[in-house]
Structure 1
Amino acid sequence: MIQVGIIGGAGYTAGELIRLLLNHPKAVINFVYSTSSAGRLLSAIHQDLLGETSIQFSDQINPNIDVLFLCLGHGNSKAFLEAHEFSSCTKIIDLSHDFRLKTSANFQAKQFIYGLPELNKKEIIKANYIANPGCFATAIQLALLPLAAHHLIQNPVHINAVTGATGAGTKLSATTHYTWRDNNFSYYKAFGHQHLGEIKESLVSLQKEFDSALNFIPNRGNFSRGIFATLYLELDESLETIQSLYQSFYKDAPFTIISENEVHLKQAVNTNKCILHLTKYNNKLLITSAIDNLLKGASGQAIQNMNLMFGIEEKTGLKLKASYF
């Protein structure tokens, strides 16, 4: 069994990671580290785990585990690794932004591989250190990678995407308070979201000359989880040609699904899937991408990466059904 350690166990992504690992047939949780909650049951914080486990938060770290998941806020993973040492055999999967860009991927002689399996599966299989992609970045990249692979992004891409309240994390703020969020809708970080850097690097890795604008408007929705993104750009190729390119690109990607019908968010929530739909309006290609921001956008993708790193079948522990009703 893979011995797993989790750092930063109180947030939404950690809660989903724990839920997945408790039901994973090839992994066991060795510790969940938290100095503030040490000695408390995991279910005291993650109340959906009541009756599922008697594991307690710990203020002790086992440096000899097989894999370490870092579920810390952006900027804190580097500080944690500077302060703590682990076995040279311990693989690390970081769920923050700290190591996603090429300029920050090499840290303390550790080379972090960008962990988008649909793009870097061969590298992930051989990797010891993974930078798990961002949630918006996952939804947007999976919508665009097949076009970049065929050098077809020659015009600006317009992206409108809405995320649920869990995308903002557990810390309360003015825009996550129930009375503000309920029956409300707003945009934020227009044209300057932090995930744009990793998206552009991935597109350039497939289409070297890529320099088209990504006009990205992120939105806050008044629902709990999920990302629903619509993207459009001018493209002359026929819909049949484009659909064929996507089917071919994702033929070995078990979690990226091309739907012939229009998609909606409930098809993806509570799964590790990215569901894509393609259609054309005259010379405009419209792409819809739907994911669960806490699963394919975070913890589910982290488990997917763990499976690949340890030579386990990719879908192990991730055969989840959407909460449709």
Structure 2
Amino acid sequence: MRRAEADSARFRAAVVGGTGYGGAELIRLLLGHPSVALTRVSSIDSVDQTLESVHLSLTDTGLTFEEIPLAEVAEGVDVVFLGLPHKVSSTLAPEIEKLSCKVVDLSGDFRLKDKDVYEKYYGQVHPYPGHLDGRWIFGLPELYRERIRAATRVASPGCFATTIMTGLLPLADAGLLKGPVQTVASTGSSGSGAYAKAGTHHPIRANNLKSYKQLDHQHTPEISQILGEAMDIAGTRTDFTLHFMPRSAPMPRGILATSFVRLDESVTNDEIDK
């Protein structure tokens, strides 16, 4: 939806940090939504450049990247999407707290509820650990649709986490998720971001399949946390341990995850299909 249609839209949205691949996809979805008017895009990169000049797939948006304070970005909108890198959104916690609109954060800064786990997996002390108190609702609609609808703060799930959890949630709900759970998941090069780095640039990873962050990926505790909450909701709490092996795949987009779960011998294929 273009700026000219803003008056007829049900929701007005703004994006902070929209120059990366994730931001580009978010902007594309917002522009194409019949009930949303994207009215402003803020970034410290590409200031005063049109969206079309940065994201060639977007056309006729009537928008430019602006470098303006968060409070100004949020003026007159219903929802602000934060498309910032990990460890950046958390530094804005006091400013976010003052906003009256809905805020959706795409980074991992508010997904976890344990500050020590955050420090272990993100390599830094959370600057505002008090904000890990549950005020941010985990944005997985398959589990928390109504909570997301009512929430003013939403932490968007990680890419690996979304893929793996949607596959394991039915088993968690049924109380079948027990013992060790092994997951192997392969991701495309766009998941490494828009800027080339040694080892992640697509010409380097093409025709190669390699593992990285073996058993230590930052989405591991996120998946365990939410699957545990899902079992608590369903009243099917069991003990399980996730062993996650992420892999870098020679493809530009997408994730393919395969999980291995040890089931009781009495469980049939029909029960699994259900």
Q: TM-score range by the shorter chain?
A: 0.7 to 0.9
In the aligned structure 2, how far is the partner of 1:10 from the partner of 1:117?
Answer: 26
Aligned residues: 242
User: Would you say 1:27 and 2:36 are equivalent positions?
Assistant: yes
Aligned to 1:238: 268
Alignment of 1:129-140 (within 5 A): 129-140=153-164
Residue 215 of structure 1 aligns to a residue whose secondary structure is: strand
Aligned counterpart for 1:92 among listed residues 103, 107, 125: 103
The equivalent of 2:17 in structure 1 is 8
Matched-pair identity in %: 38
The aligned counterpart of 1:277 is none
Structure number with the higher helix fraction is 2
Task: State the alpha-carbon separation in 1 of the partners of residues 248 and 44 from structure 2.
Answer: 32
Give secondary structure in 1 for the equivalent of 2:250: coil
Matching of residue 63 in structure 1 with residue 71 in structure 2:
no
| Secondary structure in structure 1 of the residue aligned to 2:66 | coil
Matched, 1:169 2:193: yes
Which structure would you say has the larger RCO, counting Cα contacts within 8 Å and 6 or more residues apart? 1
2:205–2:250 CA contact under 8 A, matched in 1: yes
Q: 2:255 aligned with 1:227, yes or no?
A: yes
Q: What residue ranges of structure 1 are gaps of 5+ in the alignment?
A: 245-325
TM-score between both structures, scaled by the size of structure 1: 0.70
RMSD of equivalent CA atoms: 2.0
- C-alpha offsets along residues 260-291 of structure 1, whole Å, 9 cap, x if unaligned? xxxxxxxxxxxxxxxxxxxxxxxxxxxxxxxx
Which residue of 2 is the match for residue 286 of structure 1? Answer: none
Contact 2:19 2:45 in 1 (8 A): no
Secondary structure at 1:107's aligned position in 2?
A: helix
In structure 2, the gaps of 5 or more residues are 1-8, 116-128
1:74 touches 1:96 (CA, 8 Å); kept in 2?
A: yes
Tell me, yes or no, if the aligned pair for 1:99 and 1:106 is still in contact at 8 Å.
Answer: no
What is the distance in 2 between the residues matched to 1:106 and 1:95?
A: 19
**1:52 paired residue number:** 60
Counterparts of residues 86-235 of structure 1 (less than 5 Å) = 87-88=99-100, 90-103=101-114, 107=131, 111-207=135-231, 209-235=237-263
Verify the 8 A CA contact 1:63 1:86 in the aligned structure 2.
Answer: no
Q: For residue 19 of structure 1, give the secondary structure of its aligned residue in structure 2.
A: helix
Give the residue type in structure 2 aligned to 1:220: S
- Residue 195 to residue 41, structure 1, CA distance change in 2 (3 Å): same
Deviation at 1:179, TM superposition (A): 3.3
User: CA 1:28/1:66 → structure 2, altered by over 3 Å: closer, same or farther?
Assistant: same
Which digits, 9 at most, give the CA deviation of each residue in 1:54-112, with x for residues without a partner?
A: 31111233332210000011110021343567542x00000000000123685299811
Structure-2 separation of matches of 1:95 and 1:77? 9
Write the deviation string for residues 121-179 of structure 1: whole angstroms up to 9, x where unpaired.
12112111100000100111111111111211123111111000011111221112233
Q: Give the secondary structure class of the aligned counterpart of 1:156.
A: strand
